[in-house]
Structure 1
């Protein structure tokens, strides 16, 4: 697929979507399949508190004033930013603000904060650009990135075979899903057999749903009872169903399940699976295919890894175990050959 150059950046609808090439109109179910952080990952800031002290030793700052870890401008990298992107002095980043501690609203209920935006801030700093954060829905980021409204997406987006047809990626975190249950439960979820006959809540159109559907096929092939998948209209309803016993399990982005395990008394993590099961995948900054930005973001991330600011951000949000040794640019051409680093699957 040739690089897409028919739309200028951040220029609204820029004509009818009907004019877009057919490949650009792949359904959002395919594009949104990794881990919509908001689909199943409830966890609002408790009582509007400014900080939350967790059992894992992390004190989560949920105030609008984040006092983010910052990085110095790297002049050599700044010079590599594509002119069309850098000419306004901003890096316009989309996020869904749907999941503590990844991307969520602060205690003022309007300021987007979280580890995803802290990583984006490091990248913007390295490139000498102002970070311009735009909150969007999980369903909308693919088309708005294609149209030029967003230059990069930092919102727990995982690399998959559908997305590489439209986007380029700069990896920055391991990608796992966590199973969570009531603290009194004795589940140990490692595979399909462990969910047989259970009620599991899951977000529609997500990679976690794909995993559960595949596991159910395994169970049916063995003559075992499949899991019953349950869908809720909001994050709060999902966790309420779990805590009240209406569901047995919830599957959500692993960092969110760890956050709840360490800040609530009633829930715990009972399993962990790579978001790309049965293969492996990574969380990555997402950019329009062929516009030249992803390789520059990759270099900025590696600079942040090298100077230690990347590790400080992950430590700040309790995500150190998902750190990568290096960022890599992933395109459609390199997707098959560039395997994700092996990670040890374990519950927290």
Structure 2
């Protein structure tokens, strides 16, 4: 993939059919009654991405144990028979979000973690963590792995091991009538741009601002948000021009008609990077995770999981251990 490309997301390729209600705006305080009420609203767009919001996740794709992968699990992880993973449950579908009971973390990231746990012959334990807290969680041993849209970069490779499972694509969203077409750094000059702190997308925007300032142009004003929902409200109220966040969340929100995707960029800009399972550096667990992912790739459960959440466009050919990245 090239370092940066722009395309209008073709929603028809990403909408998957599931026997559950459509979620029109899901946050940690949304009840199933509110979801159903919005789904029945005459103003609800018919193209909204439909996702499973139930705690039970009866349609979750599963796989079987791979003895070769299970044999790679470090003894201290295998001892209790549990794989304890962190997933950020404060986001929007389809990555990680709270189910209708407002406590169970569900989504595509949980499903990928489930495939890995299955392949390793371990029980999956999901810990709802925040983006800011996951690094310390892994380093302290409270989390054995993280599946939370973590992109591989040179700085993180110094502290963590990675096993890739999706392309790392970020998307700019804006109001449907914004007229924005973000193709390069010049396109954000003078704009207010929302972003999460400590993310790859923040690094991209800081680099773009440095380029603008070096060329004597006005940089973008970066506004920091802990979650995409707050940024989207700021866009809808006119307080924010655009927000740069994970492409899966952007496609979901755009499918509802409240915002539109106005540009995409690889998380490793100007290079290519990937989303990966994250483990502590050197403890051997990443090798086991990669083997379990390969098992899921081989038996088709990986592709079925991406299809379930409308993420087939972000599939990779094979999981890679600690891919090379530009420093």
With normalisation by structure 2, the TM-score equals 0.84
- Is 1:240 the counterpart of 2:233? The answer is yes
Q: Over residues 307-331 of structure 1, what are the superposed CA-to-partner deviations in whole Å (9 max), with x where a residue is unaligned?
A: 111011111111100000000111x
Secondary structure, aligned partner of 1:277: coil
CA deviation profile, 1:239-292 (whole Å, cap 9, x unmatched): 111011111111111111111001x22211110001111121111001111111
Deviations 1:174-231 (A, max 9, x none): 1011000111122111110111121111122222111111111211222222212223
Residues 273 and 325, structure 2, Cα contact 8 Å, conserved in 1: no
Is residue 152–residue 162 contact of structure 2 (8 Å, CA) maintained in 1?
yes
Distance 1:309 1:234 in 2: 30
Aligned residues: 293
CA contact (8 A) 1:141 1:153 kept: yes
Aligned equivalents of 1:336, 1:218: Cα separation in 2: 21
Q: Give the 3-state SS of the residue equivalent to 1:59 in structure 2.
A: coil
Matched, 1:256 2:249: yes
Cα gap change, 1:187 to 1:66, in 2 (>3 Å): same
Question: Residue 75 in 1 paired to residue 67 in 2?
Answer: yes
Q: 1:291 aligns with which of 275, 283, 293?
A: 283
Deviation of 1:233 after TM superposition, in Å, equals 5.6
Distance (whole Å) between structure 2 residues aligned to residue 237 and residue 151 of structure 1: 30
2:27/2:90 contact within 8 Å kept: no
1:231 is matched with which residue: 201, 224, 228?
Answer: 224
Q: Which residue of 1 aligns with 2:50?
A: 59
- The question of 1:142 aligning with 2:135 is answered yes
Q: Residue 51 of structure 2 aligns to a residue in which SS?
A: strand
Matched, 1:335 2:324: yes
Conservation of the 8 A alpha-carbon contact between 1:181 and 1:269: yes
SS in 2 for 1:163: helix
In the TM superposition, 1:119-268 aligns within 5 A as 119-232=112-225, 235-262=228-255, 264-268=256-260
Residues 57, 324 of structure 1: CA spacing in aligned structure 2 closer, same or farther, 3 A cutoff?
farther
TM-score between the two structures when normalised by the length of structure 1: 0.79
Residue 306 of structure 2 corresponds to: 314
Alignment partner of 1:285: what SS? strand
Structural RMSD (CA): 2.2
Contact 2:153-2:325 within 8 A present in 1 as well: no
Equivalent pair of 1:58/1:316 in contact (CA under 8 Å): no
Partners of 1:209 and 1:80 lie apart in 2 by 36
- Partners of 2:197 and 2:224 within 8 A in 1: yes
Distance 1:93 1:278 in 2: 30
**Partners of 1:233 and 1:128 in 2: CA distance:** 35
Distance between the aligned counterparts of 1:292 and 1:55, measured in 2? 47
CA distance, structure 2, for counterparts of residue 57 and residue 289 of structure 1: 40
Decide which of 107, 114, 126 is 2:100's aligned counterpart.
107
Whether the 8 Å contact between 1:157 and 1:285 is mirrored in structure 2 is yes
